[in-house]
Amino acid sequence: MTMRNSAAARWALSRRGLLASAGGLGLAAAAGPAAAQAATPHTLDDFFARDGVSGVVLSPSGNRIAIIRELYENGARRAVLDVVDAGDPAATPLRSPIGDVDCEEMQWASDERLLVKVALRTRSSTERTSARSLGPVAGQEIVSRRMVSIDPSTGGAVVLFDNEPQRMRTTTNLGVIADLLPDDPDHVLMIAPTQARRIAALYKVNVMTGRAEEFERGDFDTVGWQTRNGVPVLRYDVNSAGNTFEIMARASGERQWSFVRKVRISEAPEFEFVAVTDSDDVILVSARLDGEDVQTVREFNLKTRAYGPPIASRPKADVAGGLTDDRGVYLGAAYWNDRIEYDFALPELAPHHRAMNRFFDNECNVHLLDIDRTHNRFLAYVSGPREAGSWYLYDRAARSFVNLTPRTALQTERLGRTEALDVTTRDGASIRAYLTAPPGGAPGPLIVLPHGGPEVRDVIGFDRTVQILAAQGWWVLQPNFRGSGGYGLAFAAEGWRRWGDRMQEDVEDAVDHAVRLKGLDAGKVGIMGASYGGYAALMGAVLSPARYKAAVAICGVFDLPEMLAYELRDDNSPDNEIYRFWTRRIGDASTDREALERASPRRLAGEVRCPVMLVHGAEDGIVPVFQSRRMKEALERAGRSVDYVEVRGAGHADWEDDVEQGLMTRYIELFRRAFA
């Protein structure tokens, strides 16, 4: 989209009028645009309109805000940096050009230096000299990532590592920051491969000159470090399959690293660094210990390797991360309930977050990103079912809440409302589900969207797919079936080895509940999902052929024995953590093969009655593409209707927006035909 140019428009609130009262905290705001016509759905193009903002960050002092924007003029794209006075967000920003590059990340090294990670895309013009050559194929896209240090006052820039031309030519990723070194404004710690041995090392890099000096080398499988005041305290070594970390620790004064824990590389790892403490040998981590139900924040002693008792814990809720200020000081723990919540270590911060939530009628997620060192100014990313996402500046002293990046493509009144449902399952358990109405809320067809993972969860938030489907006049249901994550290990374990029965039954019970509650058309229900959700979509079509009129499965698992065999392909050692993880959750192919086959849609393709669409990334490294190829073949052999799309060059549902928009068009057409 084209950003509006007036000063008032740059900070106009998209949802509120001149004043919002929030529990005694008056939040001053600018006037918003005129309300849209109620219940007029957005078009598909609206949902894929460019928003023009790549990122926003607050400086350590809280005095400056940096905004990366993408401008499109005469078909050409260029990125620019806007530096805003946080004390007067309506003032004209200081603008500096960046160029036709992708800006992937931005951080303040200090108030006087901004770091921007850029991705440069080129095409290889060389051929491989042999089959064993590791060089790129001619025409293959090469992405080189670089960290650029920018003077926000002048726009002057230097590329970090620029003093090493050979490294710049041969290394694709020179954009990983390990530590911003708050006490040393001229330097940062970065991770990059050594030139000679090609193993990871830490480098101390001057952000004024770009010069880098090696600080510490890792082992041959090291991929990262966590530091405390510039001193490495945790190290991450990856296994040969690239799916687990060995976490190593080192206390002050120690020379050798020692093993702490092996963790699966996943959406919700069970051990993560959170913050530093006043003690050199103690850090805060989020962890779930043996025998515990939920993940909590607690101390970890680097010298003794002992854990302290939880300092942030909720029953039946896993901690979702820590909140820190500019210097890495712990301010609280984040949790996902229906929306994001915080348990603050500083109680005086809690009423301010409540005020921000009330500002949006408790409909949105106010996600705190940056907090200045005086804890006066907060940068928050706000999103919700009817708020596509904008960055806001909250000023405690001024009691103001300012939208820094208003979105004009999607309007609140033209998006569907989401509500939380408590669903009683057929065996008397209770699960949470989220139901989004089409604009206007008229009864109509229903699409159920089981999430992936499966040990993740849905929340009340902005979901583009959900809102696109709702804009077609359809209701959209997102059930957190047993086996979902975020609710503690016991809830997740209720879905272990219950693929195709209990987990699927929970989805069906949620559908029945929504249909009864809203008077929806039980004869017009579709199912759609990605990853585990793709499995659930096809398993739903197998087990309930009369229920679903169409099924869309994206990057799904369709043959459980074959998936387990795939996890053993590259690592058949006894300590294959990933294989053990999945056998605990799916089943053991050597002892449970019959049950696994009964829970595999590919083995039961003849039971499917509805039209099916399968989509898979050709380079998917999580669920191999052969799962969808063989599902397609099985459906064709059974004489069933199947449409198959393989996305070239894509991984696990990570395609670009133009591809996604084309696929969404086909999903909508499939469901419309099925509901006709």
Question: What is the predicted pLDDT for the residue at 124?
Answer: 58
Q: Which residues contact 166 (CB under 8 A, 6 or more apart)?
A: 195
Amino acid at 246: E
Question: What is the predicted pLDDT for the residue at 4?
Answer: 28
Question: What is the predicted pLDDT for the residue at 35?
Answer: 38
With beta carbons less than 8 A apart as the criterion, state whether 629 and 636 touch. Answer: no
- 560-569 and 626-637 are packed helices; what angle lies between their axes, rounded to 10 degrees? 150
477-to-231, 421, 424, 664 alpha-carbon distances in Å? 48, 10, 15, 17
Q: Which residues contact 606 (CB under 8 A, 6 or more apart)?
A: 638, 640
CA neighbor of 177 nearest in space, from 278, 29, 57, 40:
57
d(CA 264, CA 32): 46
Question: What is the predicted pLDDT for the residue at 267?
Answer: 59
Residue spans of alpha helices (H) in 31-176:
44-47, 165-170
Instruction: Tell me which CATH homologous superfamily contains domain 412-559+607-675.
Output: Alpha/Beta hydrolase fold, catalytic domain (3.40.50.1820)
329-to-230, 233, 271, 446, 477 alpha-carbon distances in Å? 14, 16, 19, 46, 39
Bin 111: left if φ > 0, else alpha if -120 < ψ < 50, else beta: alpha
Q: Which residues of the chain have pLDDT under 70?
A: 1-39, 123-141, 197, 266-268, 570-571, 573-575
HSE of 512, CA atoms in CB hemisphere, 13 A: 11
SS3 readout for 331-380: EEEEEECCCEEEEECCHHHHHHHHHHHHHCCCCCEEEEEEECCCCCEEEE
Q: Which residues contact 666 (CB under 8 A, 6 or more apart)?
A: 613, 643, 645
* Phi, psi of 477, deg, nearest 5: -115, 130
Q: Enter the tokens of residue 426.
A: 């057929």
Q: Enter the tokens of residue 209.
A: 């000159």
Q: Is the pTM of this model over 0.75?
A: yes
HSE of 290, CA atoms in CB hemisphere, 13 A: 1
With beta carbons less than 8 A apart as the criterion, state whether 366 and 360 touch. Answer: yes
d(CA 329, CA 606): 58
Question: What is the predicted pLDDT for the residue at 26?
Answer: 54
d(CA 390, CA 249): 38
Question: What is the predicted pLDDT for the residue at 36?
Answer: 37
Element (H, E) at 660: helix 657-675
Task: For 223-248, give the DSSP string.
Answer: EEEEEETTEEEEEEEE-TTSSEEEEE
* Number of residues in the chain: 676
Question: What is the predicted pLDDT for the residue at 25?
Answer: 56
d(CA 440, CA 519): 15
E strands present in 467-595:
475-480, 525-530, 551-554
With beta carbons less than 8 A apart as the criterion, state whether 339 and 352 touch. Answer: no
Task: For 581-646, give the DSSP string.
Answer: HHHHHT--TTTSHHHHHHT-GGGGGGG--S-EEEEEETT-SSS-THHHHHHHHHHHHTT--EEEEE
With beta carbons less than 8 A apart as the criterion, state whether 390 and 407 touch. Answer: yes
Q: Give 279-283 contacts, CB < 8 A, sequence gap 24+.
A: 280/228, 280/251, 280/252, 281/251, 281/252, 282/308, 283/226, 283/228, 283/233, 283/234
d(CA 292, CA 307): 13
Buried b (16+ CB within 10 A) or exposed e, 78-112: ebbbbbbebeebeeebbebebeebebebbbbbbee
d(CA 339, CA 70): 30
Q: Enter the tokens of residue 183.
A: 């006490």
Domain residue extents for the chain: 412-559+607-675, 560-599
Question: What is the predicted pLDDT for the residue at 20?
Answer: 31
Q: State how far Cα 167 lies from the chain centre.
A: 31
d(CA 125, CA 141): 10
d(CA 342, CA 359): 17
114-to-38, 53, 56, 269, 563 alpha-carbon distances in Å? 42, 17, 11, 30, 45
* Phi, psi of 250, deg, nearest 5: -150, 125
E strands present in 265-339:
271-276, 282-287, 296-301, 307-312, 319-324, 330-336
With beta carbons less than 8 A apart as the criterion, state whether 158 and 210 touch. Answer: yes
Q: Which residues contact 376 (CB under 8 A, 6 or more apart)?
A: 62, 395, 396, 397
**Does residue 656 sit in helix, strand or coil?**
coil
